[in-house]
Amino acid sequence: MKKYKKIVRLIPLDQRRFKFLYIVSLLLIFCLFGRLVKLQVFNASDLQRKARLIQSSKTNALKKRRAIVDRNNRLIAYDKSLYKLWAHPKYFNFPGDSINRVRSIEEVTQKLSSILDIQGEILLSKFNSKMSGIKLLDKISEENAEKIKNLQISGLDLFKYSQRYYPQGELYSNLVGFVNDENIASAGLELHLDNQIKVFNKSNLIKRGGDGTPLPDNSAPGDFISDYKSLGLTIDSKLQKASFNALSKQVSKWKAKKGFAIVMDVNNGRILSLVTFPSYDPNKFWQYNSELFRGWYSQDLFEPGSTFKPINLALALEEKVIQKDGVVEDTGEITVGGWTLSNWDKKGNGYIDYPKVLQVSSNVGMVKIMQNLDPKIYWDWLKNLGINKNLETDLFESTAGQLKRKDLFVNQSIEPAVTSFGKGFSISPLKLVQLHAALANGGFAVTPHVTSTFKERVNKYPKKQFFSNEVSKIVLEWMESVVDKGSGSGVKIEGYRIAGKTGTSQKALNGSYTSKKVCSFVATLPVNDPKYAVLVVVDEPSKSFAYGSTVAVPVAKEIIESLIVIEKIPPMIKDHGMIVKKP
């Protein structure tokens, strides 16, 4: 049987239809190409940004600061997490409501008022004609913020931020300082050690897959752990409070301009307490005069007066221009370079030994002692002590002391004469503490500091030595006689060997001395095993009979009594006529 093939007749394609399909195809190709160019060229950066948002999450930390704690980990400053509440009335919607339903402002404020314990009328008054972006409240606690979140009301936004808080108020303000409302360090350690207190994160970006799963990258272990270590201070809060109470009471009693008190370990420079008065509440810093924000104990200079006499005696001993058992004639007045210099009481004391010079605070005796020392050598000693240098410390930037030019000091005999009893030059209270610490620890320079991690060059070997060990011991014993028999007797405490020296210096203005005074007292204890230096400075007491012995000594005694208890310093006891240390 024959098979027949089906014959299909080919009909030519209609030219109009062919052109239409061709044009449509070209248009589609051009559209696809244009879309590709748009995505690859014009929208590339935007698409990359969107991709990164999907593929990675940014862990933005708050602008946090480390907590500041004392040596016993008591809080001095810390960051408190607070919230701001913003309202968008056009989106007000409760859980379970239909999407299109918008709740009234009254309904929302009613729920908020019960949580925040604020009258609904007060909240309502904060709303205006705006339908979005209304700031309702600030400084909302974490507890209340969590309650607001649990309401799940659409149209309410909580913005978390960090605020610095100082739980001990004015007790530490002159030392620690504060940060302002914009979280910017503005005074004290907060400003001076800002980079050490700020918290820095090593990394803040983590890659994720399409389902949100974290993907491995080049991050090192621990990169996403924030560093929230505290800044530890050497300060003891109990001693700080005792010092503050003693100082503030005395400054108020004598109607003085200001006062300063410090307790320092003479062997390493660690400061156990540092207070000034008047002070301020750093939580309400805007209510106070900015003058209170200064660390004047390291930035202001004063003439140390008689508290510098022990330093001068040490220099005379070092240069062997006096002997330990020598005497000097105190005539009450002495003329130097045409100037008449006298004792504070205008009276002479006759022939007295060097401990007696300190006990009666003889200016004439000191002038005669230091006249034995070549002015060139004397000036070189003062420079070597760093009188005109800054202290390298972790406190406020210190101001360098003022010392006369060497040529003036050498050629004008009045200059070394007045320097012998602590006038004619100026130093900061902090520098005076350092010098007396050197007298106490065997002659070595230490730098006053308050942070437990502070590393200072002068405490690294080799240490700089101001005085010999032998000279230091001699002068310290002479200073002990001031407490036993002289102007520092008000600080005497039964069972404890305390060395000290009072100071009362007039303040200079435009080259002339005024009636305004600076009263001071420096003490070292215990003399048998020196460990602590205490300095009290009271500026411009306005009542009569204001001297170091009447104004500064009582403050020092209260501080020392607290120090003995807090540091558990054992007393000395007598055993068969000998003084021994109580076990």
CATH number for 142: 3.90.1310.10
Q: Are 124 and 246 part of one and the same domain? A: no
Domain boundary among 143, 165, 187: 165
Q: Are 158 and 244 part of one and the same domain? A: no
Q: Are 285 and 376 part of one and the same domain? A: yes
Six-digit token string for 56: 């990675």
The catalytically annotated residue of 306, 361, 520, 562 is 306
Q: How many domains does the chain have?
A: 2
57 domain-assigned: no
243 domain-assigned: yes
> Does residue 518 contact residue 488 with C-beta atoms inside 8 Å?
no
CA distances from 82 to 33, 85, 437 (A): 53, 10, 45
Domain boundary among 134, 150, 165: 165
Q: Are 312 and 459 part of one and the same domain? A: yes
Q: Are 314 and 454 part of one and the same domain? A: yes
Give the whole-angstrom CA distance, residue 87 versus residue 324.
Answer: 81
Pick from 474, 496, 510, 470: nearest CA to 556? 496
Q: Are 161 and 250 part of one and the same domain? A: no
Q: Are 405 and 510 part of one and the same domain? A: yes
Instruction: Name the CA dihedral angle for 427, 432, 434, 438, rounded to a multiple of 10 degrees.
Output: 120
Give the whole-angstrom CA distance, residue 527 versus residue 441.
Answer: 10
CATH of the domain at 508: 3.40.710.10
Q: Which element (helix H / strand E) includes 79?
A: strand 75-87
Please return the burial class of 455, using the count of CB atoms within 10 Å of its CB with bins 0-12, 13-18 and 19+: exposed
Most distant CA atoms of the chain, gap in Å: 163
Q: Are 379 and 514 part of one and the same domain? A: yes
CA distances from 284 to 275, 280, 289, 565 (A): 19, 8, 11, 33
218 domain-assigned: no
Domain boundary among 125, 144, 165: 165
Q: Which element (helix H / strand E) includes 472?
A: helix 469-485
**Is 306 annotated in the active site?**
yes
Q: Are 271 and 149 part of one and the same domain? A: no
Q: Tell me the β-bridge partners of 11.
A: none
> Does residue 454 contact residue 394 with C-beta atoms inside 8 Å?
yes
362 domain-assigned: yes
* Domain with 154 in it: 78-165
Residue 339 three-state SS: strand
420 domain-assigned: yes
203 domain-assigned: no
> Does residue 530 contact residue 467 with C-beta atoms inside 8 Å?
no
- pLDDT per residue rounded down to tens, the chain (583 residues): 555 666 766 676 677 777 777 788 888 888 888 787 777 777 766 666 666 555 555 544 556 889 999 999 999 999 988 888 888 888 888 888 888 888 887 888 888 887 877 777 777 777 776 677 778 788 888 888 888 888 888 888 888 888 899 999 999 999 999 999 888 899 999 999 998 888 865 545 555 555 444 555 555 544 444 556 889 999 999 999 999 999 999 999 999 999 999 999 999 999 999 999 999 999 999 999 999 998 889 989 999 999 999 999 999 999 999 999 999 999 999 999 999 999 988 899 999 999 999 999 999 999 999 999 999 999 999 999 999 999 888 887 789 999 999 999 999 999 999 999 999 999 999 999 999 999 999 999 998 999 988 764 445 556 789 999 999 999 999 999 999 999 999 999 999 999 999 999 988 777 677 888 999 999 999 999 999 999 999 999 999 999 999 999 999 999 999 999 999 999 986 544 445 554 4
225 domain-assigned: no
